[in-house]
């Protein structure tokens, strides 16, 4: 099920407006509707805690007293906050497939030995995004607006997935805002991008939107 450029633009503005009205906290840091090079697209910004370096096990030559002393010292020191990584999730309309496509880029260089897939992809989805399945394969490409390297979900089977989901919820016809919310439910979960709970609850009871609620407990 494709979406027209007009309806996609409308969906971007409506989702931005609904997000701005949310009362409670959510894991979307910011939402913007951007225009560049004649393209209108939605940018969802999220912050993630930087992964901690692998801790080294205690040496077998350390005595129990030495380990206990280190533990006591650590209890007296305040915890050091983990650095955060800011990621931009840009949703653009594919001119060839006529479906939304997700591009993910970091706002600053990632820490050494850190990759976008390791940060974003929940374990249940890792095998699925290695191949071009319904959720699409996660691979590198050039961002269509900035030209910077970006990870994206290949859209070749998005229309197929959206057709099945939209038929289940509305007989094949959905409004632009509902379309983009359904799309996030189908595609966003594979990279940890879920609708804020308050928005997802609007679709509670719709069988095809059940995946939007998944992962809320995993955050």
Tell me if 73 is assigned to some domain. Answer: no
Quick one: which of 152, 203, 200 has its CA closest to 26? 200
Q: Is residue 176 one of the residues assigned to a domain?
A: yes
**Residue pLDDT, tens place only, 58-91:** 343 444 555 445 555 555 555 555 568 899 999 9
Q: How confident is the model at residue 145 (pLDDT cuts 50, 70, 90)?
A: very high
Q: Three-state secondary structure along 104-156?
A: EEECCCCCCCCCHHHHHCCHHHHCHHHCCCCCCCEEEEECCCCCCEEEEECCC
What CATH code is carried by the domain that includes residue 116?
3.30.1460
Looking at the predicted structure, is the pLDDT value of residue 105 above 70?
yes
What are the tokens at 162? 């959206």
Report how far residue 118's alpha carbon sits from residue 113's, in angstroms, rounded to the nearest whole number. Answer: 10
Range in 95-99, 102-106, 132-136 with the lowest mean pLDDT = 132-136
- pLDDT at position 51 is 65
Residue 122 forms part of a structural domain: yes
62 lies in some domain: no
Stretch among 35-44, 89-98, 114-123 having the lowest mean pLDDT:
114-123
What is the tally of structural domains in the chain? 1
Judge whether 29 lies within some domain: yes
pLDDT tens readout for residues 12-59:
999 999 999 987 788 899 999 999 988 999 999 998 877 655 534 334
Domain region containing 194: 5-50+82-213
Whether residue 180 has pLDDT greater than 60 = yes
Single out the residue of 111, 96, 87 nearest to residue 188, CA to CA: 87
- Predicted TM-score (pTM) of the model is 0.75
Give a yes or no: residue 77 inside a domain.
no
Would 40 be classed as within a structural domain?
Answer: yes
Whole-angstrom Cα distance, residue 67 to residue 64?
A: 5
Using CA atoms, how far apart are residues 92 and 9, in angstroms rounded to an integer? 10
Question: pLDDT band at residue 214, thresholds of 50, 70 and 90?
Answer: very low
pLDDT, residue 86, reads: 92
* 97 located within any domain: yes
């Amino acid at each position: 099920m494709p979406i027209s450029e007009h309806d996609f633009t409308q969906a971007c503005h409506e989702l931005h407006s609904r997000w701005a009205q949310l009362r409670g906290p959510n894991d979307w840091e910011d939402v913007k509707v951007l225009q560049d090079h004649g393209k209108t697209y939605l940018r969802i910004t999220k912050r993630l805690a930087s992964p901690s370096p692998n801790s080294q096990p205690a040496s077998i030559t350390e005595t129990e007293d030495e380990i206990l002393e280190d533990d006591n010292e650590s209890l007296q020191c305040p915890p050091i906050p983990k650095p955060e990584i800011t990621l931009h999730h840009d949703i653009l309309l594919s001119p060839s497939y006529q479906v939304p496509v997700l591009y993910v880029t970091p706002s600053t260089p990632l820490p050494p030995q850190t990759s976008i897939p390791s940060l974003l992809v929940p374990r249940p989805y890792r095998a699925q995004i290695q191949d071009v399945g319904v959720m699409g394969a996660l691979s590198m490409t050039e961002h269509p607006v900035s030209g910077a390297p970006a990870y994206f979900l290949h859209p070749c089977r998005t229309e197929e997935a959206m057709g099945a989901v939209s038929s289940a919820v509305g007989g094949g016809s959905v409004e632009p805002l509902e379309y983009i919310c359904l799309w996030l439910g189908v595609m966003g979960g594979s990279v940890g991008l879920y609708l804020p709970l308050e928005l997802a609850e609007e679709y509670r009871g719709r069988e095809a939107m059940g995946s939007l609620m998944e992962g809320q407990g995993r955050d």
